[in-house]
Structure 1
């Protein structure tokens, strides 16, 4: 598969699967949790609370890993593995752009100062379990 087709497939997977696993580093060990992801041309954003444990972890070590796309239907599900770095982004624009009513469980609204986003800049993106093919890496 050429790089352009690979990028289209990656974008399709991350656009069609909001839920995924975010792994940060805590005491030199992986710390994983399910998150909701949004994307803008391969840069991922996930909402969180400004005082969340993952913010402290990222301030100490910006390296993160994200898995998106696996649906649990079986061994053949195609998914994306993203390795990169993350920063906290408290942009009012992002808060309004990605606000979802389901966030009301944790936040008062898009103006809530405790609402922030983790911005994940990919360094490596791989597609796995793609119709029995070996992992394919998107050149960034």
Structure 2
């Protein structure tokens, strides 16, 4: 597979799976939780509250890992592993672009100052369990 093929396949997987696992670092140990994801190309966005422990974790150590896919029985599901750097993004444009009425359980609306996104810029993207093929890796650290 070429790098462009890997990128295209990765975007297809990301775009088809909104729920995945976010792992950050808490006290030098992994801390994982399920999150909802949106994407623009390979960049991921996940909504969160500004006053959560994950924000504190990201501020101390911005490196994260994300797993998406692997939702059926798991044995034959292709999935993606992304490692990268996370930052807080609270731009009004982004908050309105990805706003969903289901968020009203946690936020007053797109203008709520506690409503922010973690923006995850990938450094390495790995596609795994592709029908017997070896894992495919795309390194973006130098881009």
Q: Same fold (TM over 0.5)?
A: yes
Aligned residue number for residue 68 of structure 2: 68
State the 1:75 CA deviation: 1.1
Equivalents in 2 of 1:53, 1:74: separation in Å? Answer: 30
What whole-Å deviation, never above 9, does each CA across 1:40-92 have from its counterpart, x for those lacking one?
11111000000011000000001100001111423111000000010111111
The alignment covers a number of residue pairs equal to: 140
Query: Where in structure 1 do 4 or more consecutive aligned residues deviate above 6 Å?
Result: none
Structure 2 runs not aligned, ≥5 long: none
Quick one: distance in 2 between partners of 1:17 and 1:62?
23
Alignment of 1:33-52 (within 5 A): 33-52=33-52
Deviation readout 1:7-38 (Å, 9 max, x if unpaired): 11100000010000000000000000000011
For 1:34 and 1:100, the matched residues in 2 are separated by 17
CA distance in 2, matches of 1:72, 1:49: 29
Secondary structure of 1:71's counterpart equals coil
Whole-angstrom distance in 1 between the partners of 2:138 and 2:101: 34
Task: Provide the TM-score with structure 1 as the length reference.
Answer: 0.97
What is the RMSD computed on CA atoms of the aligned residues? 0.8
Partners of 1:52 and 1:70 lie apart in 2 by 27
